[in-house]
Chains A and B, each alone.
Chain A
Amino acid sequence: MKTIVVEHLARVEGHGGITVELEGDAVSDVRFDVFEGARLLEPLVRGKRYDEVAPALSRICSICSAAHTLTSLKATENAFGVRISPQTELLRELLYRGESIESHALHLFLLALPDYLNYPSATALAADKPDIVLLGLRLKKLGNRIQETIGGRAIHPVNVVPGGFGKVPAVDQLLELRSALIEGMKDSDTVVDLMASLPAAEFCRGNTVYAALLSPNLDSYYAGDEVMIASNGDRSIIRAAEYRELTNEQSVPHSHARHSTFRGKPFMVGSLARLTVKPRRPTGRLVVVRERLQLQAPAGNPMDNNKAQALELVRDMERALETIEQLLREGVKDERPVGVHPRAGTGTAITEAPRGLLIHSYTYDAEGRITSADVITPTALNAASMEMHFRRAVEQCAERDDAVLSKRLQMIARAYDPCISCSVHLVRRR
């Protein structure tokens, strides 16, 4: 028996690695070990007041802190029957766009591109091709700026509160963001040209099931309470309150994260799933972007998640700009958060974090204190699908060279953009 091990996808000792076992040429076992701290959080929030929950859970992830904050607040508001204002919904969507721009720029330019271009790291890539890295940093900064303006902080937003926002942005802040986005849009063609020029990564193609939020306008990250699952033309819809039908989690001995399947099949969430499950007819610049990236739907290649993120990056800048224009056109109202009146009950929220569906579900007592909490992250939802694609990659690879296989496995893992290492980030000395 031969074993291929990819270590150090995370800094948690003994976690975050990929193991593939071969009997001759046949794959006998594939294990992706995810450290999923989110599943261990219930004791941390049990007994907390409703307004203490989102700040605590935003710490799950530095990159997706806005996603966790917004999903947490949505679950709490659902539990108490709170209806936020249309302006609040617009601003929350804008905050989400900022996080998506920031996250996709980081992932594409500083994490995924070095793989494609055969560099060991972003710093090595920067030494040879600084323009690429500077482009990524510029776009990331743009996303950060949106989050800081709307969320009140560069990270772990504090301005989003139950029922609304602590302080709505001033008109001149929105005008500044608009200018920054118009400037950022000038980088769109470069982003698309670069992504379209990457070498093909065709090494784990096959039928894939996808799941994404079914939002009212088909491309919202925040609004919506149903999930659509698409598989070979079959489509199913699950309501947020019935999310366990989708997650259907099973413990596996090799991972902290429980594996999720839908009707026995692994499924993929994230940018590619969003484009596949709810294909909104592209308009304007996005028609050209989609053609240039040769993004097909339904997609059978998870590596296309990188291209899908590139498309979303361009689209997010457009949508953020549209949202700001709308806010300016309609006039920004100096709204206070709507009243929150705790009551006993359960609230579930599903949103689209940059790397896919994010689920928060809480039960509160009559005083508004948490009695149970469930947080399911996109990485946990993707874990079974990742293992399926690791297996395919090895099966579809004619070579049995460890270095080739190891690199492909890492590239697939990165294409899923997993959140397995943000929880622990110890740096190491040489």
Chain B
Amino acid sequence: MKPLLVIGLGNPLMGDDGVGCAVAGRLANDPRLPEDVEVVSGGCDLLRYAAQMEGRSRVVVLDAVYESAEPGCILVFEDPGAQLDATQDHAHHLSAGQAIQLLQMTMPLRATLVGIGASSAGFEPWLSPLMESRMPAILDRVLQELVWTSSM
């Protein structure tokens, strides 16, 4: 069985929308990352990673979740399809929750979506100062989740 795969989603040109990518990038260089975990980062289209997900016991997806209450908060969805808005209002691609639901039709995929609260996203190639200030806490929390998930 291949190791646990962590996929960071987001667009780094669009402010806090890219937080999933940013967290994945920092995780990959974090010495606390468990040895049996692989990390990839990039893009908004989870379906592109179908081939990399095959043969994994579990996949963890990091993505921005629209959450006006608290930017940077962590929301963990073990069954993301059932808990996220499934309405198709993207004109161009599927949301992470929808993509996981569809991929589960094609492979025995256990997926955890670690949502990172983001209340807005504008055109800027960096995270907002508020999100940036919360990155250490986000990384701690995501690592905690990975340690727990990889032991499942």
**Chain A residues whose CB sits within 8 angstroms of the CB of B57 once the complex forms:** none
The B79-138 residues at the A interface (CB cut-off 8 A) are 81, 83-98, 101-103, 105-106, 115, 118, 120-123, 125
Place the interface of chain A in its size category. Answer: 35 or more
- Across the interface, A422 reaches (CB within 8 A) one of B44, B83, B115, namely B44
Interface residues of B in 41-100 (CB under 8 A from A): 42-45, 47-52, 63-67, 75, 81, 83-98
Question: How many residues in B have their beta carbons less than 8 Å from beta carbons of A?
Answer: 52
The residue of chain B having its C-beta at the shortest distance from the C-beta of A37 within the complex is B123
Residue A420 interfacial (CB < 8 Å): yes
> Residues of B contacting A62 with CB < 8 Å?
11, 42-45, 48, 93
Are A155 and B121 in contact, with the CB atoms below 8 A?
A: no
Could you tell me the distance between the alpha carbons of A62 and B42 in the complex, rounded to whole angstroms?
A: 8
A154 and B94: CB pair below 8 A? Answer: no
Using known A-B contacts A11-B66, A154-B52, determine if residue A425 contacts B125 with beta carbons closer than 8 Å: no
State A106–B88 Cα separation when bound (angstroms). 13
Encoded as 1 (CB less than 8 Å from any B CB) or 0, chain A from 112 to 145 comes to: 0010000011111010001001100100110011
Is residue A312 within 8 Å, beta carbon to beta carbon, of the partner chain? no
Q: When chains A and B are docked, how far (Å) is the Cα of A158 from the Cα of B1?
A: 28
**Interface locus among A218-226, A267-275, A365-373, A411-419:** A411-419
Q: A11-B121, A44-B13, A140-B47 are in contact. Are A427 and B95 (CB under 8 A)?
A: yes
Docked Cα-Cα span, A59 to B126, in Å, equals 13
B89 close to A8 (CB less than 8 A): yes
For A148, list chain B residues within 8 Å (CB): 51
Bits for A387-430, please: 1 = Cβ < 8 Å to B, else 0. 00000000000000000000000000110011111111111111
Q: With A44-B13, A155-B48 in contact, is A426–B101 under 8 Å at CB?
A: no
A330 within 8 Å of B by Cβ? no
Confirm or deny: B14 has a beta carbon within 8 angstroms of a beta carbon on chain A: yes
Say yes or no: is A41 at the interface (Cβ < 8 Å to chain B).
yes
Given A59-B11, A156-B42, A156-B43, are A427 and B91 neighbors across the interface (CB < 8 Å)? no
CB of B27 closer than 8 Å to a CB of A? no
Q: Which residues of A contact B105 (CB under 8 A)?
A: 126, 130, 133-134, 137
Inter-chain contact B48/A427, CB cutoff 8 Å? no
B87 touches A424 (CB 8 A): no
A155/B65 in contact, CB under 8 A = no
Q: Which residues from chain A contact B11 at a C-beta distance below 8 Å?
A: 59, 62, 422-425
CB distance from B66 to the nearest CB of A (A): 4
B residues within 8 A CB of A107?
Answer: 92
C-alpha spacing A22/B47, complex, angstroms: 40
Whether the Cβ atoms of A425 and B17 lie closer than 8 Å is yes
Give the residue name and chain of the B residue nearest to A143 (CB): B48
A286 adjacent to chain B (CB < 8 Å): no
Given A63-B45, A424-B17, 11 other A-B contacts at CB below 8 A?
A: A62-B43, A63-B93, A110-B102, A111-B91, A144-B48, A144-B50, A155-B49, A156-B43, A423-B13, A427-B84, A428-B85
Q: Which residues does B use to contact A, with CB under 8 Å?
A: 9-14, 17, 42-45, 47-52, 63-67, 75, 81, 83-98, 101-103, 105-106, 115, 118, 120-123, 125
For the complex of A and B, 4 pairs with smallest distance between CB atoms: A121-B88, A8-B89, A62-B43, A428-B85
